[in-house]
Amino acid sequence: MRTAVRSAIATAFIAGALIAPAAGAAFAAASSAAPAAATATTDFTDGLEGAVQVDIAPRVAAVLGYSAEGPEARILSIGSGKPDEFPTRWITTLNVDNRTDQVNDVHLALVDDAKGGGHTLTVTLNGQTKRFALPKRTSAPCVSEVKEVQVGAGAIADLTTSSQGPKAVVHGSAPGDTWSETLDRTHPKGGDAFYLRIANPSGAKPVFEWKTQGGEGVPVGKTSFPALPKGCKLDYEVVEEGSANPTPKPSATPAAPKAQTTGQTKVVPQGPVAAGAELPVETVADSDDTAAVAAGAGPAAVLAAIGATVLLRHRNRG
């Protein structure tokens, strides 16, 4: 699920679980080792590859794994299931479109590892930070490594390239800042807060552009997107920005074909136009060759030629 999903959190969870005096000590004792096998219900792990569940804070857990879009951490409020207590609930989701979030006093962030291409969920409570590594992927999706770019104004852009094209997820870098904006091939322009744009979004070499500070002389920042992994291909036709495929101009109307002639007087009409043509009387009289005429003319022309020949002969005899 790509968008954050929030549920109401019971008063007992807000007042007791996270801000109790023992919360800091309990959080400090939380294990940062590799996640154990998943114990969450099917609803919480549905669609996640290699989903595992870890306790990240008192009565707060995270289900870690990979969806079709990339790394994902589903944050749960753990209930006992007793009639007088609230059940386990889905609080929020961190993914490539929502990198950071705040749940009461707990600050959450989904970050990319500097080496190895992995991902980590960082959890900060009472000044202490714990890190929980996402499980290793068993498949290799056609998504590039994340290219992180500082764009100013306390914002970071995470650039990736997949088979669907370039994507830029711009988000705040300060703890607790949940603002984010996503640009992709079909939506290459950002909102009015800053100048954010993907230039040449459907081209072979898209470029991310930004300008977060005003004033004259401040240039527009530009950087390329990372390349697709080897063996991956784009799922769309590459069209360079500004290119056009103009409709070919209609050719000039060709001139009517000229009649083919043999000598000075013999004319043989060509093509379907000749089917209904009437040959000049003098031409037939000069040639007196109905077989030759029939070879180059249609039935109507042949009949007209024969009739003209008979008429001339009748006049000559008379």
What is residue 209's predicted lDDT score, i.e. its pLDDT? 98
Q: How many CB atoms neighbour CB 1 within 10 A?
A: 14
First to last CA, the chain: 104
For residue 266, give Cα distances in angstroms to 75, 83, 256, 282: 96, 111, 19, 9
Per-residue pLDDT tens listing for the chain (318 residues): 443 333 333 333 333 344 333 444 444 444 333 444 334 444 688 888 889 999 998 889 999 999 877 899 999 998 876 766 778 889 999 998 899 999 888 999 999 876 666 899 999 999 999 999 999 877 667 888 899 999 999 999 999 999 999 999 999 988 878 888 999 999 999 999 899 999 999 999 999 999 998 877 889 999 999 999 888 889 999 999 987 654 344 444 444 445 554 444 444 445 444 444 444 444 333 444 444 444 444 545 544 544 545 444 544 444
- Dig out the tokens for 9 from the structure: 């959190």
What is residue 115's predicted lDDT score, i.e. its pLDDT? 61
How far, in Å, CA of 215 to CA of 3, rounded? 35
Domain range summary for the chain, segments of one domain joined by +: 1-139, 142-242, 263-317
What is residue 114's predicted lDDT score, i.e. its pLDDT? 63
Residue 208 near residue 198 (C-beta atoms within 8 A): yes
Q: How many CB atoms neighbour CB 94 within 10 A?
A: 23
Instruction: Give every CB contact of residue 247 below 8 A, 6+ residues apart in sequence.
Output: none
CA nearest to 119, candidates 104, 134, 136: 134
What pairs with residue 61 in β-bridges?
Answer: 55, 76
- Dig out the tokens for 150 from the structure: 């500082």
